[in-house]
Homo-oligomer: A and B are copies of this chain.
């Protein structure tokens, strides 16, 4: 990272000075975006601030309990806030319909754990060694001397758990578990979070996963696997594109697989690709070559071409990356 981070102390200072605060998670919220934004909102309200989470789209159904009662649609926000904080995103394109609102705030803060070359806010704290933005919200709230209650803890926990695949992924650190432990000491029920988030999948989502996994193809002698979600798959199963969440992890879990790829056909020759590596391959490099990015073991890119062409392109790139590695490297 090239940029210098502002400290939690400096950020806390701006928060203490602010009156109204708007919190902006990225669009298409995941558990970390929703959990981090909601925990921060609850914490700031506890400090007596007028805080709200501003959205431009609806939260996924299984995450709605995290942000319930804390949100306002961007269309309803009439005044520029004294402070705007974007959470789990450090790129204005990740909240296009709130960019103007964000940039028009008296002061802006950015908290994120995705790699970024430069800050988009007046104060930035971007730490890609954190497993989830929820870790950063945890440290910020501690800096602000907010006492964690069960509701806040549950939302921090939800952020940690979802962004680490329940503490499975390699981004999980001792710090992640330490924060999870601290959250559980509040008396929160992690099983409740898990039932709400994971045991409330739609029937359509299950059918989509089954359809995609059933026709997944192996390549590079079983070291690669690719799944494809076409618009037709969505239509035939009644699922939505956000229901693809979890498919690439399922593909990666196959024995011998090093790189898993999921292609998601958007409308009109736009293919979004999610790539995951298991232990050694660099999928960030593959995605960067296609104007995408992310982490070494988890990256994404968008290909403006047909599904067959996107498939060919990424198969070739992955095969090249895997070249020279034997199975069970």
| Chain A residues proximal to chain B, CB less than 8 Å | 61-62, 161, 166-170, 172-178, 180-185, 189-192, 194-195, 198-203, 206-207, 209-214, 216, 218, 222, 225, 250-257, 278-279
Contacts and interface: CB of A to CB of B under 8 A. Distances in A.
Contact of A216 (B62, B177, B206, B279): B206
Given A62-B255, A254-B201, A214 B210 contact: yes
Q: Which of A62, A209, A214, A225 has the most CB of B within 10 A?
A: A214
Given A177-B178, A203-B218, A210-B210, A166 B167 contact: yes
B166 A254 contact: no
Contact of A180 (B167, B192, B195): B167
Given A61-B255, A168-B198, 16 more contacts: A169-B191, A170-B189, A174-B183, A174-B184, A174-B185, A178-B178, A191-B279, A199-B255, A200-B253, A200-B254, A202-B255, A203-B218, A203-B222, A203-B254, A206-B216, A210-B210
7 contacts: A172-B191, A174-B182, A174-B185, A199-B254, A199-B278, A200-B253, A210-B210
A166 B189 CA distance: 15
A206 B213 contact: yes
Contacts of A254: 199-203, 206
B167 A201 contact: no
Main SS at interface, chain A: helix
This protein's copies in its complex:
2
A207 B212 CA distance: 10
Contacts of A255: 61-62, 199-203
Closest 8 CB pairs of A and B: A177-B181, A170-B191, A174-B184, A210-B214, A210-B213, A200-B255, A177-B180, A178-B181
A253 B201 CA distance: 6
Contact of A181 (B168, B175, B216): B175
A200 B205 CA distance: 23
B184 A173 contact: yes
A149 to B, nearest CB: 15
Contacts of A183: 174
B166 A168 contact: yes
B190 A167 contact: yes
A222 B200 CA distance: 12
